[in-house]
Amino acid sequence: MYISNLLGIGILLANFAAGAPTNGGSKAFFYKGHDISSLKMLEDGDTQAVFKDTARGNATRRAEDILADGGMNGVRLRLWVNPIPGQYDLDYVLALASRLHAAGQAIYLDYHFSDTWADPQHNNAPVAWPTSLEPLAATLRAYVNSTLHAFEDAGIPLALVSLGNEIRHGMLWPLGHVDVEVEPEDARVANFTGLATLYKAARCGVDDYVDTSSSTQQPAVMLHMDNGWNVTLQERWFSSLTATGLVTPADWDVLGFSFYPFYGTTATFENLATTLDWAANAFPGTPLHVVETDFPARCDGEDAPELSEPDIAISAAGQTAWVRRVEEVVKAVEGGVGQGVWYWEPTWLNNTSLGSACQDAILFDQDWSQYPRVTGYSRSSVDMFLDSV
C-alpha cells in the first residue's frame, strides 16, 4: 500500500505540475497554500463578506482569485464530525472544496476528528462516537473511508489529507490522549498505545477508500504536529509512537508542522530548520510541509506577545517577509524534501487575531462601516507567494 501510494503521489504531483503554469514543468511541485476554511461562513452569514482587490482599483473579486493571483496553488480546509450545522461539517466543506477545485486549487483536507476545534488544548472525540478503544477505532476507520468517498463522489480530488490536527497531545481524547513528558520511556510508550491504535485505524480507512476508489488521484496521507521548532519534542514523540509497534513510518506519506511566531521566542527559523532537517534524516524521502503559519500586521498594547523573530516588522510587508523566510527554510531542507507552506486563515475578517494575542494576522484590511456586513481590502501581503515579491 505504501508503494502504491507513493506511485499515487507521483502521478498526482505530475498532474498538478503539468497543470501549474508558473511551475516551469521541471521542478517538483511546491505547495503555496492558504487555509481558508472560514471563508464561506463569512460570506453566507450576517457578515455577507465581500473582498476588494486594492491592486486592481478596489475591484470586487472572490478572495480565492485575489490569493491565487498572489501565488496560491492549494487550499487547506478543516472538517469537523458532528458540529453545529454549517460549521465545517461535511456538506459545508464539500461545497467550499468543490468551488475551490473548480478554481484550480489543490485541496488539502484537514481532519479534526472532533465536533469542534482540535489542537493541543482541545482534541475531544466526537460526542456520538463509541467510548471504548476498539469500537472507536472501527468507527474512525469507517468515517475516513466514507468521507473520502464523499469527496470522490462530488468530483473533488484530494491532494493531501491529514489524519488529525496538531496531535502533539494525541487526538480523540480521552482514549487517544498522549503525554510526551511521561517517564520512564516504557510508560511513555504505553501511554501512546491508544493514539497509535487510532492513527492506524484512520490510516486503514484511507487504504479502504483507495481499495474501493476509481479515481486516479489518491491523496498523500499527512501526520500533523505543532511546535515545529522543538526538535526534542518531535524526536520523543515520534519515537514513542513508533515504539508501540502499531504505527510505522510507512503509515504516513508526508509530515506537516505548525510554526507560529507568537507562542514562544524559541520558534526561530533556525530551530525550524533543525526540526525539518531532523525529520528529513529520520524519515528519508518523506515530504515535509509547514502547514500552519501566520504573522501579525498589528500586534501592540499591554498583552502583545514577544515575537520569535523580532527583526521582522509587524506589518503587511512583515507578513510577506516572514512567509518568504519560512519558505526558504522549507526549500533548504536536506535532500530537497520540503514540499509546501500554508498560511492560516488569511480571510477571517471577523476573527483577525487568529488565536494569537496579536490583534490582526490576516491579509485583508477590514471595513465595518456597513455593519454587520464586512468588506476586506487586500493588503500587499496577499502576494506573499509570488516569486517576485
Ligand X SMILES: *[C@@H]1O[C@H](CO)[C@@H](O)[C@H](O)[C@H]1NC(C)=O
Active site residues: 166, 292
Beta carbon of residue 354, minimum distance to ligand X (angstroms, whole number): 5
47 or 239: whose CB is closer to ligand X? 47
Report, in this order, helix, strand and coil percent for the chain, each rounded to 5. 40, 15, 45
Least spacing, CB of residue 221 vs ligand X, in Å:
16
Helix axes 90-102, 133-153, angle to 10 degrees: 40
- Of 6, 55, 182, 233, the residue at the interface with ligand X (CB under 6 A) is 233
Report CA torsion sign: 121, 126, 127, 133: negative
Three-state SS at 368: coil
Q: Which residue is nearest to ligand X (CB)?
A: 45
CB of 25 to ligand X, least distance (A): 36
Can you give the three-state secondary structure of 217-252, one letter per residue? CCCEEEEEECCCCCHHHHHHHHHHHHHCCCCCHHHC
CA atoms within 13 A on the CB side of 260: 22
Q: Would you count residue 45 as binding ligand X (CB under 6 A)?
A: yes
Instruction: Tell me: does residue 265 bind ligand X (CB under 6 A).
Output: no
Which one of 159, 255, 321, 354 is in contact with ligand X (CB under 6 A)? 354
Interface with ligand X, residue 165, by CB under 6 A: no
Pick the binder of ligand X from 105, 191, 218, 230 (CB under 6 A): 230
Tell whether residue 317 is a contact of ligand X (CB under 6 A): no
Contacts of 186 (CB under 8 A, 6+ apart): none
| Residue 185 found at the interface with ligand X (CB under 6 A) | no
Site membership for ligand X, residue 61 (CB under 6 A): no
> With contact defined as beta carbons under 8 Å apart, do 339 and 357 qualify?
no
* The only residue of 11, 46, 190, 332 in contact with ligand X, by rule CB under 6 A: 46
Cis, peptide link before residue 135, omega less than 30° from 0: no
Grid cell 505530475 in the structure block, residue:
14
Interface with ligand X includes 339 (CB under 6 A)? no
Can you tell me which of 145, 191, 242, 308 binds ligand X, judged by CB under 6 A?
A: 145
Residues counted in the chain = 389
Shortest distance, position 58 Cβ to ligand X, whole Å? 4
Q: Does 177 bind ligand X (CB under 6 A)?
A: no
As a three-state string, the secondary structure of 307-330 is CCCCCCCCCHHHHHHHHHHHHHHH
By CB under 6 A, residue 131 contacts ligand X: no
Number of residues that bind ligand X (CB under 6 A): 28
Give me the residues that bind ligand X (CB under 6 A), please.
Answer: 41-42, 45-47, 54, 57-58, 117, 142, 145-146, 149, 180-181, 208-209, 212, 230, 232-233, 236, 266, 350-351, 354-355, 377
